[in-house]
Amino acid sequence: MKTGFIGLGNMGAPMARNLLKAGHALNVFDLNAQAVQSLVDAGAKAAASPKLAATDVECVITMLPAAAHVREVLAGKDGVLAGIAKGVTIIDSSTIDPQSAKAFAALAAEHGNPFVDAPVSGGTGGAAAGTLTFMVGGSAAAFEAVRPVLSAMGKNLVHCGDTGTGQVAKICNNLLLGITMAGVAEAMSLGAALGIDTGVLAGIINTSTGRCWSSDTYNPFPGVIETAPASRGYTGGFGTDLMLKDLGLATDAARSAHQPVYLGALAQQLYQTMSSRGEGRLDFSSIIKLYRTGEDA
Amino acid sequence: MKTGFIGLGNMGAPMARNLLKAGHALNVFDLNAQAVQSLVDAGAKAAASPKLAATDVECVITMLPAAAHVREVLAGKDGVLAGIAKGVTIIDSSTIDPQSAKAFAALAAEHGNPFVDAPVSGGTGGAAAGTLTFMVGGSAAAFEAVRPVLSAMGKNLVHCGDTGTGQVAKICNNLLLGITMAGVAEAMSLGAALGIDTGVLAGIINTSTGRCWSSDTYNPFPGVIETAPASRGYTGGFGTDLMLKDLGLATDAARSAHQPVYLGALAQQLYQTMSSRGEGRLDFSSIIKLYRTGEDA
Amino acid sequence: MKTGFIGLGNMGAPMARNLLKAGHALNVFDLNAQAVQSLVDAGAKAAASPKLAATDVECVITMLPAAAHVREVLAGKDGVLAGIAKGVTIIDSSTIDPQSAKAFAALAAEHGNPFVDAPVSGGTGGAAAGTLTFMVGGSAAAFEAVRPVLSAMGKNLVHCGDTGTGQVAKICNNLLLGITMAGVAEAMSLGAALGIDTGVLAGIINTSTGRCWSSDTYNPFPGVIETAPASRGYTGGFGTDLMLKDLGLATDAARSAHQPVYLGALAQQLYQTMSSRGEGRLDFSSIIKLYRTGEDA
Amino acid sequence: MKTGFIGLGNMGAPMARNLLKAGHALNVFDLNAQAVQSLVDAGAKAAASPKLAATDVECVITMLPAAAHVREVLAGKDGVLAGIAKGVTIIDSSTIDPQSAKAFAALAAEHGNPFVDAPVSGGTGGAAAGTLTFMVGGSAAAFEAVRPVLSAMGKNLVHCGDTGTGQVAKICNNLLLGITMAGVAEAMSLGAALGIDTGVLAGIINTSTGRCWSSDTYNPFPGVIETAPASRGYTGGFGTDLMLKDLGLATDAARSAHQPVYLGALAQQLYQTMSSRGEGRLDFSSIIKLYRTGEDA
């Protein structure tokens, strides 16, 4: 399938690479020439604009930092909609707000193009391994149409419902993730302060009702899980500033829906504090630093 | 093993019953005559006081609502310490604060009695089925000594460390549980307000990084999990007022340790709100009612 | 001074009326024909567009719901900048985010027009009485230039600093107001639950360190202050949805500045809850309803 | 009036001194011999126990750190109730929980002694100057009976209602104080981060709806108010650990009354964080340090 791919960052580059490996032909565009060259070396064709990347393809994928970039890439001068043929599906894998996703779908529909929002989970590791989860919002037909392309980049494709619901799924999951991670940080720090061995405590939690991914797979207490960022100084992983972005999307969406998110709003302020301390690039499990004040503050 | 058992409430009664089934002889005491009679019918011997229940036994178990009751039962007039022989181990399975547990252990030591704190998880269902988890604080020797008795009531016995660490494990786990349940309530309610099917959303969360017991086993959104209290009007299960008690123990312990618990303190206020609305007897997953204000407030 | 006035809502209409009373000639524009007619009856001249309202005047004032409206009125088709003469000052009295204020100032500067942000406090009462406070951001020269016009509508003109600082002052004050009101609601409700006479409690607070405008002038407990919205069913006053808008501006500004606002973010969720319950049009002091659950929930 | 005074700490000592100045005869007791000697030098008579301090007097005053101390001093061995004559009024000026105050009143009533709870505000400065506010809970007759003694130590005597309401007034005021101070810290820090002059911002707040004692008298931002602890490194004033004690009393009372205190519980965690950082002895306005992370964390 001939595909236009726009946005070759930490996530987009390995995703595009997996499309090439699966035999898809690729037109790529990015503002970063080095990122483009690296994909060209792997067999892609460089395009001089989103418009040209979207010309003469069967599918277009965008993977960008925020809604403003997607808008520019789609509808700006020399944008995707200026080059794309009618009927070709646009897949936006950026994590953005559901309302923008709906607006972009409407815009695409005006040009005769199906649009799906398809944000991912799985991180840079999953992007490289081709094991991402795609949460897809759009019609059942569009979901079926993009399945061959998405399955080259991920192993778990979920049809969430109409346009925007892919984004809804993503931000609701990450809202909960931001809360559970801070919750585990509280529980582990409290236990440590009260004198229990943190390995024993994690063991009990992980086989009990407090069990969660943030504890059993990604425990924020140093030394509890050897492979977690907590055991390597909170390097790598999912950055605090990225969690902060997603919590911003969640609280914004909650605001528009008049829906209270007490714990989410508080968790957002806690990650904000880490960011304001200059630690926004550390893995988000470093939130535990706020609780271990005797240790490092 | 001849055992004195004091406290035959919703948890204590089925636990005592399992001891009888396993062939242990039982002296039982409770202020509620009906509760006592029911155990006598099952083969136990009624004692007229904690002191008498503790006389001529090889082990004493207490299962009481709060630290004040444990203190009265141990050290009050006609209390356990007035009747128990030197060297007999006291097991307190009540959920109380770690500092009181340490104080009771010291009191017992003065009388020459080993003491372990051994709070449980698993609820009334686990108590009836004999599948409780015991979180045990005390010396390794005391842990080994109580193993035969505890294994008649539970299937998972964890030695947490010194005296008090059983209670620490329990309250840290339940602190996290209170937070994750409120977090799931937020995420599910937000998703519903934004138009995603709640079954689809739960499915995504349960295979992603938001995964937790509160979502995959006990989801608070009605209809998502057929066997959860949410699907039967929040009846049965673990009551909001019991969660409130445990969050009170957690925030009190945090206060004594000068340890901040931001989300825990906020979650406590949310369960408090449910309690003040007269809904303290509903299962704690009913916290989701605070988030679905268009539905029921 | 010949002035163009755009935005004749609950605040704008009485402000414009005061300008007429002070002898200023007025071109007025609003999408609502009835609002325009009412001002025409009072001596203003109707303009068919913002452009025409801004033609041949010495000053332009905008009073609009949100930044998007200001942008449209200034820079849209037939907007102010299409009609205004070079050198004429634009006063924006809308409450918007500081960054947009700066962007509008830059836009105006490109056209050769000074711009000040001048949000107000004092409510519809102050607008009618001409006793508003204006918080003005812009150069000292611009502040002096607009003084004659503003003094016809308010009695307290404060120069806050450079462009945007008028908005900063407004949202910081209202952030604090949203917090103190919820704080008074907590303290008064707790006192009532604990059995103290609420008039006595308010009297003590108002002469002690808890003293604040939300208690001594606008107490949310019914009956404490006869003239407050609390004593007339929370009608009139400053609506919950308006407080919610301002807290949204505050938390957004905090996000952009990487500045934590723990209490502000939580207060926002509490007002959000009122709004989601369908009570967003009640005065914001009705937040106390969340605390008196035995009374009304 | 011959008075027994028990508890000669930072508050009690200057209060006792003012009683001597006003011509009252004093029996004093404290565990600290130096504190006793200092009062003896000023004309008091040392008593060897609370019992002896309470013997042959017309009134007894206790000023102690917590309810446990009051209980010991009243009802312990050689306590006040062992020495006091029937009908003599006991005044407890300690800040304790309302339920303990009621319990002590009941205990005193059994011995035939009226009891009033009379916590103070005004700090060590007010204690020295004799300008304290007394919040008095008890019967109207008891209030009149203690007026002559209290007026030697304070200038504002408020009868709050029945026993315990003096404590209720105190903890509700301080709950609100803890919240408003953190709120001012948020608003001032946000303003500073957004570039407004903090003196200008405080000026606007202090004449607007955000006005409160925490801003206009005790502003936490350094340099805004020359006489405030913020302008002398947060030394002196009302310590963070004391605020933490009072917020603990407030949230405990709220728990017993099933009353949510969302902001109060969160503020408590914030002061807790300061305490855990080893800054509990700084004035409570130092809470602003949590918000100015770029500055000092």
Tell me what pLDDT residue A34 has: 97
> Which phi and psi angles does B265 have, rounded to 5°?
-65, -40
| Weakest mean pLDDT among A286-295, B69-78, B79-88 | A286-295
Task: For residue B104, count CB atoms less than 10 angstroms from its CB and return exposed for 0-12, middle for 13-18, buried for 19 or more.
Answer: buried
Domain boundaries, chain C: 3-161, 168-296
pLDDT tens sequence across D30-80 = 999 999 999 999 999 999 999 999 999 999 999 999 999 999 999 999 999
d(CA C149, CA C24): 8
As a whole number, mean pLDDT of residues D206-234 equals 96
Distance from the B30 Cα atom to the nearest Cα atom in chain C, whole angstroms: 33
- pLDDT confidence bin for C91, thresholds 50/70/90: very high
d(CA D88, CA D95): 21
d(CA B269, CA A260): 15
d(CA A185, CA A282): 15
- In degrees, rounded to 5, the angle at the alpha carbon of residue D240 between the alpha carbons of residues D235 and D245 is 145
CB-based contact B188:B217 (threshold 8 Å): no
Q: Is the dihedral of CA C162, C164, C170, C174 positive or negative?
A: negative
pLDDT tens sequence across B115-140 = 999 999 998 899 999 999 999 999 99
pLDDT tens sequence across C248-288 = 999 999 999 999 999 999 999 999 999 999 999 999 999 99
Residue with token string 């634009």: C90
Q: Do A257 and B168 touch (CB under 8 A)?
A: no
The class of domain B3-162 in CATH terms is alpha beta
Distance from the A95 Cα atom to the nearest Cα atom in chain D, whole angstroms: 28
pLDDT tens sequence across C217-234 = 999 999 999 999 999 999
pLDDT tens sequence across B165-177 = 999 999 999 999 9
| Interchain CB contacts (distance < 8 Å): B and C | 19
Q: Which residues of B touch D280 (CB under 8 A)?
A: 258
> Helix or strand or coil: residue D230?
helix
Q: Do D214 and C209 touch (CB under 8 A)?
A: yes
What single-letter amino acid sits at A120?
A: V
Helices (H) and strands (E) in chain C — how many of each?
14, 9
d(CA D73, CA B267): 38
- pLDDT confidence bin for C294, thresholds 50/70/90: low
**Best mutation target, B186, B276, B291, to test chain C (most C CBs within 10 A):** B276
Average per-residue pLDDT for chain B: 96
Tell me what pLDDT residue B293 has: 72
Q: Do domains D3-162 and D168-296 have the same CATH topology?
A: no
Stated as kind and residue range, the H or E segment containing B281 is none
CB-based contact D283:B292 (threshold 8 Å): no
d(CA D218, CA D225): 7
Tell me what pLDDT residue A294 has: 58
As a whole number, mean pLDDT of residues C88-117 equals 98
Q: Do C262 and A262 touch (CB under 8 A)?
A: no
C170 catalytic per annotation: yes
- pLDDT confidence bin for D16, thresholds 50/70/90: very high
Distance from the B114 Cα atom to the nearest Cα atom in chain A, whole angstroms: 20
D190 closest CA partner among C170, C209, A270? C170
Q: Which residues pair with C29 in a beta bridge?
A: C6
Q: Quick check: B226 pLDDT over 50? A: yes
d(CA A108, CA A118): 15
Tell me what pLDDT residue C296 has: 44
Residue D276 has its nearest CB partner, among A273, A276, A294, at A294
Q: Quick check: B296 pLDDT over 50? A: no
d(CA A176, CA A182): 10
Residue D196 has its nearest CB partner, among C165, C177, C189, at C165
Tell me what pLDDT residue D181 has: 98
ipTM, two decimals, is 0.95
Q: Which of A51, A102, A170, A289 is catalytic?
A: A170
> Helix or strand or coil: residue C122?
coil
B209 closest CA partner among A288, A241, A187, A125? A125
Name the fold adopted by A3-161: Rossmann fold (3.40.50)
Q: Where are the beta strands (DSSP E) in chain B?
A: 3-6, 26-29, 45-46, 59-62, 89-92, 115-117, 120-121, 132-137, 154-161
Q: Which residues of D touch A273 (CB under 8 A)?
A: 290, 293
The chain D residue lying nearest C193, using CA atoms, is D257
Both tokens of A169, joined, read 């799924």
Tell me what pLDDT residue A293 has: 72
Q: What is the CATH number of domain B168-296?
A: 1.10.1040.10
d(CA A83, CA A50): 8
Distance from the D240 Cα atom to the nearest Cα atom in chain B, whole angstroms: 12
D135 closest CA partner among D115, D158, D104? D158
In order of A297, B52, B181, B189, the CA distances from C245 in angstroms are: 35, 67, 29, 22
CB-based contact A221:A198 (threshold 8 Å): yes
Q: Which residues pair with D62 in a beta bridge?
A: D6, D92
Residue D253 has its nearest CB partner, among C133, C190, C262, at C190
Tell me what pLDDT residue D236 has: 87
DSSP class of A289: G
In order of B270, C127, D284, the CA distances from D268 in angstroms are: 16, 39, 11
- pLDDT confidence bin for D294, thresholds 50/70/90: low
Tell me what pLDDT residue A236 has: 87
What single-letter amino acid sits at B31?
A: L
pLDDT tens sequence across A17-43 = 999 999 999 999 999 999 999 999 999
pLDDT tens sequence across A82-139 = 999 999 999 999 999 999 999 999 999 999 999 999 999 998 899 999 999 999 999 9
Residue with token string 């066997």: B227
Both tokens of D270, joined, read 């914030």
| Interchain CB contacts (distance < 8 Å): B and D | 44
Q: Are strands B45-46 and B59-62 parallel, antiparallel or unpaired?
A: unpaired
Angle subtended by helix axes C165-193 and D165-193, to nearest 10 = 160
CB-based contact C87:C113 (threshold 8 Å): yes
